[in-house]
């Protein structure tokens, strides 16, 4: 019997299993190390190596062969995986030495070393459950965190030295704090020097952060899990930096701003990037490792916010700085002091610097992401076929990973050689039309059922957005629309729209969300009306539903509360309902500090509590609303949904709440993920009076 899409979608972790990822190219360009599960349904990630000349792949590490079939993860590792949205198991991260001859990784808290040339894998002794192991560049030592302490292990002798031990249970050394991992894409808290003789280490003190509790109501005998959560307007963790020698000698590295964005330590020196609490000023500082003294190299400011860009700072072989900054209306690559890309090309990330060649991602058309290089004053396109591309470069060799609308899954190539994807076939083919819709010409995807004949009759509509700033749904890649096409096959015309705030169209477009998230709802209405005009007779505007998760859940609930004249039913998953309950870095970037008075306009609680006298005629309509929330969610805590439900109940407004016991923000559990789709379908069909 053919497996249903919801079951396959859940079992394959949204078709991510079996896809090669986390590539490292050896300095000579001859080998590529990467991660991949052994099939599209296998959740255990293995470490592999590709010989570029022959195209031969070799399995280096199989966790099952090491007896790690059942993972027993330390709490800190579970938190890291939640922050990185990691849904697989096994070797989910690894680190190599400079020559990519060895790799270290953790399995169930144990420390392992793999010889990439010999294929030998051995367990190393460690002082406790291991978090984030990293080899020094020479390959002689490995650093790791256990119990909040940073240790260094001499591989040859097995000697283990705790370099920095926490002064209290609220202090850690060498780990990224919640805000860094969740909002700044910094998953690490220490950096080796190029010679491997010392490390730059972050010390995180969570004692200033408010204490929250994540309870498990389904198991009342269990103690609530305490969590330090930096909600908007409250204190962040205190982060300090120290250069620590292998003998434990410590030099403080002071910095004035609230956030440590990243650090880089290479042959040209040590540098850190910091960001002010209001995120309007970013500083790049060089650091003297012997003294801890800092020197300002550049300062970027913006009246709204300064974007954090992955991959910078970086250096050319002669030490010339590589940076990304806004200038003349574009996100531009800066080499030295000069922008070298045109304002029309929106630079998204710097991927690698190989000698004097910079490999970076950028968009001209916002629905596509291409690879480009900068070398010797020249910008060159690496990829030209439509799609979404990522890559790596070293030793003069470029690896390209491509997704597109005309190919299934992800293709990975290194010159003429390919790295196989073992992902399952989804069993359906997205029929996607990418259009510019509405008065703002928003990037929009339209998906109709495969059996629908255009003009043969109107279909109920499902808006399927994320809709929040700094995130995109409308990209030229099939993987973005597999779930949306399944919804279309259930009889919906599905519309996915990226409104103001989403990347790819330049800083001005992104910054229109400043102080007001509700413009995202205006854009969904605009896109809906624009698509209806482009597809006359295909959309039934008297039956329009909207669904979403996280910010998309907020947007879905906002839609039926504020525009019930347009939206007739909503499914809101893990919605942020009160922005005062969400974290400092994300929320304050867009809405400012709560004391500035911009939160009420974007709050759902205010809408729920409105009396009829305060509403316009359209708002007096009541529309079916299904609220879904994982009770173990430590990112958007369940209090968001519970407070909205209480406010709706107090106002006498009908709604439905589906609590998910033991489920986090990711909902990785197969049965949960499968049945969530089916329950949402049933709810929307009943709400829109769809039969059959």
CATH code: domain of residue 508:
3.40.50.1820
Tell me the CA distances in angstroms from 513 to 7, 207, 371, 509, 650, one per residue in order: 37, 32, 28, 8, 31
Q: What is the pLDDT of residue 612?
A: 59
Residue 424: count of CB within 10 angstroms of its CB? 17
Kindly give, in sequence order, each residue whose CB lies less than 8 Å from that of residue 65, ignoring residues fewer than 6 positions away. Answer: none
Torsion of CA 347, 351, 356, 362, to 10 degrees: -20
Residue 610 placed within a domain? yes
Report the pLDDT averaged over residues 275-301. Answer: 98
Confidence grade of residue 616 (pLDDT, cut at 50, 70, 90): low
Report the pLDDT averaged over residues 187-214. Answer: 97
Alpha-carbon Rg for the chain, nearest whole angstrom, is 25
Residue 663 placed within a domain? yes
Residue 116 placed within a domain? no
Average pLDDT of the chain?
Answer: 95
Residue 103 placed within a domain? no
Q: What confidence tens digit (pLDDT) does each residue in 442-465 have?
A: 999 999 999 999 888 899 999 999
Q: What are phi and psi of 635, to 5 degrees?
A: -105, -65
Report the pLDDT averaged over residues 486-508. Answer: 97
Mean pLDDT check: name the lowest of 282-291, 443-452, 453-462, 632-641: 453-462
Residue 291 placed within a domain? no
Residue 573 placed within a domain? yes
Q: What is the pLDDT of residue 606?
A: 87
Q: What is the pLDDT of residue 674?
A: 87
Q: What is the pLDDT of residue 22?
A: 98
Task: Please provide the size of the chain in residues.
Answer: 692
Cβ-in-10-Å burial (0-12, 13-18, 19+) of 669 comes to: middle
- Evaluated on CA atoms 519, 524, 529, 533, the torsion sign reads positive
Widest CA span of the chain, in angstroms? Answer: 77
Residue 434 and residue 474 in contact, taking contact as beta carbons nearer than 8 Å: yes
Residue 543 placed within a domain? yes
Domains in the chain, number: 1
Does residue 267 surpass a pLDDT of 60? yes
Does residue 154 surpass a pLDDT of 90? yes
Global confidence as pTM: 0.96
What span, in angstroms and rounded, lies between the C-alpha atoms of 397 and 419? 14
* Closest CA relative to residue 91, chosen from 75, 119, 114: 114
Q: Which domain holds residue 471?
A: 432-687
Residue 579 placed within a domain? yes
- Residue pointed to by tokens 């009908």: 654
């Amino acid at each position: 019997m053919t497996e249903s899409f919801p079951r396959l979608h859940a079992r394959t972790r949204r078709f991510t299993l079996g896809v090669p990822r986390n590539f490292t190219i050896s300095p000579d360009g001859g080998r590529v190390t990467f991660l991949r599960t052994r099939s599209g349904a296998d959740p255990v990630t293995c470490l592999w190596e590709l010989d570029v000349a022959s195209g031969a792949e070799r399995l280096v590490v199989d966790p099952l062969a090491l007896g790690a079939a059942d993972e027993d993860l330390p709490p800190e590792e579970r938190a890291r995986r939640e922050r990185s949205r990691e849904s697989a198991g096994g070797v989910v991260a690894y680190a190599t030495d400079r020559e990519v001859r060895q790799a270290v990784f953790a399995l169930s808290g144990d420390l392992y070393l793999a010889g990439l040339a010999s294929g030998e894998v051995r367990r190393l002794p460690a002082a406790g459950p291991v978090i984030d192991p990293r080899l020094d560049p020479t390959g002689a030592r490995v650093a790791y965190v256990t119990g909040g302490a940073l240790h260094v292990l001499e591989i040859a002798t097995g000697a283990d030295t705790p370099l920095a031990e926490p002064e209290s249970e609220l202090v850690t050394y060498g780990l990224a704090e919640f805000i860094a991992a969740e909002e700044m894409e910094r998953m690490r808290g220490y950096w080796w020097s190029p010679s491997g003789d010392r490390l730059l280490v972050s010390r995180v003190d969570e004692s200033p952060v408010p204490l929250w509790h994540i309870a498990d109501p389904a198991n009342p005998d269990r103690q609530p899990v305490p969590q330090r959560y930096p909600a908007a307007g409250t204190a962040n963790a205190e982060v300090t930096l120290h250069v620590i020698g292998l003998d434990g000698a410590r030099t403080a590295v002071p910095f004035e701003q609230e956030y440590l964005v990243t650090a880089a330590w290479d042959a040209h020196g040590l540098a850190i990037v910091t960001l002010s609490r209001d995120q309007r000023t970013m500083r790049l500082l060089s650091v003297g490792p012997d003294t801890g003294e800092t020197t300002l190299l550049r300062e970027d400011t913006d009246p709204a916010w300064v974007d954090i860009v992955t991959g910078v700072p970086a250096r050319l072989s002669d030490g010339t700085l590589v940076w990304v900054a806004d200038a003349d209306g574009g996100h531009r690559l800066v080499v030295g002091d000069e922008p070298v890309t045109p304002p029309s090309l929106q630079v998204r990330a710097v991927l690698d610097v190989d000698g004097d060649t910079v490999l970076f991602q950028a968009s001209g058309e916002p629905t596509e992401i291409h690879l480009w290089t900068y070398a010797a004053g020249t910008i060159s396109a690496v990829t030209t076929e439509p799609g979404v591309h990522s890559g790596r470069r070293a030793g003069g060799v470029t690896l390209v990973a491509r997704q597109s609308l005309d190919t299934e899954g992800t293709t990975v190539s290194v010159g003429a050689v390919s790295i196989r994807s073992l992902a399952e076939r989804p069993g359906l083919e997205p029929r996607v039309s990418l259009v510019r819709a509405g008065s703002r010409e928003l990037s929009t995807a339209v998906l109709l059922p495969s059996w629908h004949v255009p003009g043969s009759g109107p279909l109920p509509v499902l808006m399927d957005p994320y809709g929040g700033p700094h995130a995109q749904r409308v990209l030229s890649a099939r993987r973005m629309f597999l779930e949306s096409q399944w919804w279309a096959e259930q009889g919906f015309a599905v519309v996915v729209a990226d409104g103001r705030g989403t990347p790819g169209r330049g800083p001005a477009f992104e910054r229109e969300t400043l102080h007001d998230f509700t413009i995202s709802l205006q854009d969904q209405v605009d896109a809906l009306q624009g698509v209806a005009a482009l597809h006359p007779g295909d959309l039934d505007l008297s039956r329009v539903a909207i669904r979403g998760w996280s910010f998309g859940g907020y947007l879905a609930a906002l839609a039926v509360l504020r525009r019930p004249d347009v939206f007739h039913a909503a499914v809101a998953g893990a919605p942020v309902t009160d922005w005062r309950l969400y974290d400092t870095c994300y929320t304050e970037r867009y809405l400012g500090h709560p004391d500035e008075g911009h939160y009420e306009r974007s709050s759902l609680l205010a809408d729920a509590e409105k009396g009829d006298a305060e509403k316009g005629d359209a708002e007096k309509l009541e529309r079916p609303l299904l609220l879904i929330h994982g009770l173990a969610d430590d990112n958007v805590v369940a209090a968001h949904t519970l407070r909205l439900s209480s406010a709706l109940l107090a106002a006498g407004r009908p709604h439905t709440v589906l609590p998910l016991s033991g489920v986090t923000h990711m909902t990785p559990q197969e049965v949960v993920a499968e049945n969530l789709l089916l329950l949402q379908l049933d709810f929307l069909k009943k709400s829109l009076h769809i039969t059959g």
